[in-house]
Structure 1
Amino acid sequence: METSPSSYLPADASATLFSATSTDYSTTVDSPQPVAKADRIQTIDLIRGLALLGILMMNIKSFGYVWSGFINIVKHPESTDFYTLAVVDTAFAGTMRALFSMLFGAGMILFLTNKPEQGQGPTVADYYYRRLLWLVLFGVFNAYILLWSGDILYFYGLCGMLLYPFRKMKPGWLVVMAVLCIGANYLRNDLWYSGMRENRTGYLEAVKLEKAHKKPSAKQLEAKTAWENFEKNFKPDPKRDAKLVKERRSGYGTVFASLIPNNSGAESWGVYFGSWDMLSMMFLGMALLGWGFFSNKLPTSTYAVALLVGYGLGFPISWFFFRASFVDWLQNAGQVFDTFRVDPFQLYDLRRGLLAVGHASLLILVYRSNVVPWLMKALTAVGQMAFTNYLMQSIICTLFFNGYGLGYFGKLAYHELYYLVAGVWVFQLITSPIWLSYFRFGPFEWLWRSLTYWKPQPMLIRPKPTAETALA
């Protein structure tokens, strides 16, 4: 989030919009600049803080766990690892990134709104695209220097560039755009699933003919080979896993050589396959901001209904999704194709959208109740420093798991990964408010803003002048 016009502020907070002093980025200046702390929409930072912390619950798997371990987990549903997996994936998988994407779309609107155009120099659009180009480069840094395979900054920067033409679109049409993006993703996945079902059918026919000592057709043999190659992905490969663990526990050069092909492929794959995913949630976030959902402007009853609908529908759908698209998939992928004519994964956007709205509604209701103000303040600070905290998670986790740090990759049981998650949460919940009591921005936020506006931004918070100092 970069600016917060009064039209997006809750009624009880609109008075703070123009309360900044000359030492706090006066909002009456004529040139585009970062938003003052007093002008920020607290609930947006609050929800972003929740999303930022929640993303680590999902990312921790890729940071420190061998993928084939999940095959063993789903075979032992009585284990602590399985219960951990079930709770985390059912309640949070995809939803935190959905919230993060929604808020990214909302932030685009806030960045562009009420920023004055100058007669000379860069336009607001120039600042907007410069901001996103730097974000892309930060993503490259995260993937190729910090060596985090699951970076999203690169994709967000590219997707954000596509949002600019839609900045003035009405919320209803933005929802239509979100649905179209989901539909494009749905169609692409359905084409793949239909092709795999054909391979599965050809495989079964070929096996049946071979058992009857008959020769399958060339098409059936081709389908059989394709299906068998696909099934290899679900069989543990101890040699491959041992090689991976050895590489990840080695020095930086070895880890770099091991991950770069994967990271490069992930960046390319994500642009082609993941853009519809991210754009759909960004459009939805723009619409929700326009309706006042994220800015705490709706009645309490509206948030309560959103919570009940989001959780009431979202959790049952999510449990079915977890069982069909993860547990059953890993145990017997062929049975999934034999049972479902449509891929159960097609429920992904519906379940995560419902749960994301439910999570956000719950958080806003807790915020309004003033039950745990210390936690709300800490989460808001985490959200205000989301860029720094996101990159800090990459730094902490890569140093903890990779060999040029502590070398814990592949050493922890699945549920033990969440001890580290809890530790990072506590660290960021404590340090973020402390940092912001002395500084205007997190360190990476400061760097990003300074690069965007192409001038160093004031960092230290100067105390407001008292009567004594004013007369001195």
Structure 2
Amino acid sequence: MNIVGMGMGPAYDNPRIMGGDTGINLWTWFVVNVTFEGTQRALFSILFGAGVILFTSRPDSTDAYFRRNLWLIAFGLFNAWILLWGGDILYFYGLTALFLFAFRNLPGKKLLALGVASFVLGAAWSGLDTYNSLDLYKRALAAQSVPAAKRTDDQRKSIEEWKDESRGGPSPAMVAKAKQKNQAGYFSALQARAPWIAKAESWGAYRYFFDIFGMMMIGMALFKLGVLTLEARTRTYLAMMVGGYAIGMPLNIYEANWLMSHGFSGLARHQAEITYDFARLAQTTGHLGLLGLFLKSGIFTLFRTSMAAVGRMALTNYLTHSAVALTIFVLLGYWGKFERYELYFIVLIVWAVQIVVSPIWLRHFHFGPVEWLWRYLTYGSRPPFRKGASASGSRPALAG
């Protein structure tokens, strides 16, 4: 999901911005938007919540838990400000995890109720933003019906504000400037991205707290209820898949068709956002059900083993994505030069490399390199790295 933001910036939401609204580019946007948009970060948050229960179930884990997540915040700052990925999630996860600790001992059903309530609160906030945007459109439309000489200051302001919103993204001049800045080298790209990163890691931490917190609580609940450990019945996963896709998929298709048929305008985007969060929650539920059925089936053992290795090195692999994007799009100057569909060739290459390299790496090492560093920083003692080596401290060599 991140590749478009890494390589095309503002075109993530609107394929018209960089000429990707026809042919294979439009179909690429459609397929990704309908099937995966919003669900991958939801799954990531759910799995992170499960990890909270796993980690805090260890004896004497309290101090380590807080050190671990404070260091995760530091990794997120590094990812955003050094690797220049303004869409970093580690900073938000480390910050949000500090609040999760107090809820770790609640039973699964209570965690689920609180998680859903938090998600609904975040969706309500998004709904308020959508309402305000649509109200601005109505006020601007009403103001335009008034002769220019008779318009009030508020009416003129509404017209100007909606003019910026109506494009559904930055102006062509702003896009051209972004291309020039991001193609001109590291420090030029840092200067261009710094305001966006700063806003994301300040205001964004408040704005999306309930979304992230809610999904993590749901993950904690699903782990305790046995859903993420494959202890639930097969019919549970089947119901999740069928019910989630029956709600999420039609809504996502409707939203995508609405955007396409209305030229990806700002008005169409705000209208499509009315159902976005609930479609995303339903689609994520469907994905979880499908994954549960796949894992319980026991098929494709080698592929599942390789994917598990990728997961055990999730932090290393995640930061590797940012390093690859920095190299290609900034250091080599290819930002904005690929078409949308071409970006996914990069994705497939990175996936292939990580699926092959991760299990090979873990045959020889206990952890991924960043996971090893994270553990070292968390416990203050050097864990074994290469298999067969001994630790300098007393911590056991636990995975994750």
- Contact conserved, 2:130 with 2:273, CA < 8 A, in 1? no
Per the alignment, residue 355 of structure 2 pairs with 429
Name the CA distance, whole Å, in 1 between partners of 2:20 and 2:65. 50
Cα pair 1:198 1:223 within 8 Å, conserved: no
Q: Within 2, Cα distance between the matches of 1:153 and 1:235?
A: 27
**2:297 alignment partner in structure 1:** 369
Out of 41, 63, 73, the position equivalent to 2:6 is 63
Q: Which of 80, 88, 94 pairs up with 1:143?
A: 80
Matches within 5 A, 1:37-436: 58-68=1-11, 70-72=14-16, 79-113=23-57, 115-117=58-60, 124-210=61-147, 215-231=150-166, 234=169, 236-237=171-172, 239-324=173-258, 326-327=259-260, 331-334=264-267, 343-402=271-330, 404=331, 406-436=332-362
Gap change, CA 1:168 and 1:333, over 3 Å in 2:
same
- After superposition, the C-alpha distances for 1:258-286 in whole angstroms (9 at most, x for unaligned) are 22222112211320211111111101111
Return the alpha-carbon distance in structure 2 between the equivalents of residues 328 and 105 of structure 1. 38
What is the one-letter code of the residue matched to 2:375? R
Q: Secondary structure at the match of 2:46?
A: helix
Residue equivalent to 1:18: none
Aligned-pair distance for 1:73? 7.3
Q: Measured at CA, do residues 291 and 68 of structure 1 come closer, stay the same or move farther in structure 2, by a change above 3 Å?
A: closer
Higher mean alpha-carbon deviation, 387-396 vs 315-324, is at 315-324
Larger radius of gyration: 1
TM-aligned CA deviation for residue 329 of structure 1: 6.8
Q: Unaligned 5+ residue runs, structure 1? A: 1-57, 118-123, 338-342, 464-472
Alpha-carbon contact 2:15-2:29 (below 8 Å) kept: no
Shift of 1:192: 2.5
Following TM superposition, by how much is the alpha carbon of 1:59 offset from its aligned partner in structure 2, in angstroms? 0.4
Q: TM-score, normalised by structure 1?
A: 0.77
CA distance 1:190–1:361, shift in 2 (3 Å):
closer
The verdict on how the C-alpha distance between 1:100 and 1:391 changes in structure 2, with shifts beyond 3 A counting, is same
Partner amino acid for 1:434? I
SS for the counterpart of 2:16 is: helix
Contact 1:202 1:219 in 2 (8 A): no
Alignment partner of 1:150: what SS? coil
Q: What residue number does 1:42 align with?
A: none
The change in CA–CA distance for 1:251 and 1:336 in structure 2 (over 3 A counts) is closer
Alpha-carbon distance in structure 2 between the residues aligned to 1:371 and 1:297: 17
For 1:285, the aligned partner's letter is G
SS of aligned partner of 2:279: helix
Separation in structure 2 between the aligned mates of residue 222 and residue 244 of structure 1, nearest angstrom: 26
Q: Which amino acid aligns with 2:37?
A: A
Q: Which stretch shows the higher mean deviation, 377-386 or 259-268?
A: 259-268
Distance 2:308 2:73 in 1: 25
Worse-matched range after superposition: 69-78 or 139-148 = 69-78
Deviation of the 1:209 alpha carbon: 2.1
Query: Residues 111 and 175 (structure 1 numbering): CA distance in 2 closer, same or farther, change over 3 Å?
Result: same
Alpha-carbon spacing, 1:182–1:227, altered in 2? closer, same or farther (3 Å): same
Structure-2 separation of matches of 1:336 and 1:61: 18
The 2-side partners of 1:364 and 1:445 are apart by: 26
Q: Secondary structure at the match of 2:150?
A: coil
Identity %: 35
Deviation at 1:87, TM superposition (A): 0.4
- Distance change >3 Å, CA 96–CA 251, structure 1 → 2: same
- Cα displacement (A) at 1:157: 0.4
Query: Contact conserved, 1:71 with 1:330, CA < 8 A, in 2?
Result: no
Shift, 1:408, TM fit: 1.4
Residue identity matched to 1:94: G
Give 5+ residue unaligned stretches, structure 2. Answer: 390-400
CA offset at residue 304 of structure 1? Answer: 1.8
Separation in 1, partners of 2:342, 2:388:
43
Rate the CA distance shift 1:333–1:373 in 2: closer, same or farther, 3 A.
same
Q: Distance in 2 between matches of 1:336 and 1:381?
A: 38
Deviations 1:167-190 (A, max 9, x none): 111222212212322232233223
Partner Cα separation in structure 2 for residue 106 and residue 351 of structure 1: 23
The 3 A distance-change label for structure 1 pair 72 and 438 is same
Report what 1:457 is aligned to: 383
Opposite residue 440 of structure 1, the aligned amino acid is H
How many residue pairs are counted as aligned between the two chains? 388
Q: Is the 8 A contact 2:42 2:284 kept in 1?
A: yes
Q: Distance in 2 between matches of 1:305 and 1:400?
A: 42
Aligned residue type for 1:381? A
Task: Go from structure 1 to structure 2 and tell me whether the alpha carbon gap of 1:157 and 1:317 turns closer, same or farther (over 3 Å shift).
Answer: same
* Counterparts in 2 of 1:305 and 1:259: CA distance versus 1, 3 Å: same
Residues 89-98 or 361-370, more deviating: 361-370
Query: In 1, are the aligned partners of 2:69 and 2:94 still within 8 Å (CA)?
Result: yes
What residue identity is the alignment partner of 1:438?
Answer: H
- Following superposition, the deviation at residue 136 of structure 1 comes to 0.3
- Taking structure 1 as reference, are residues 295 and 444 closer, same or farther at Cα in structure 2, changes over 3 Å only? same
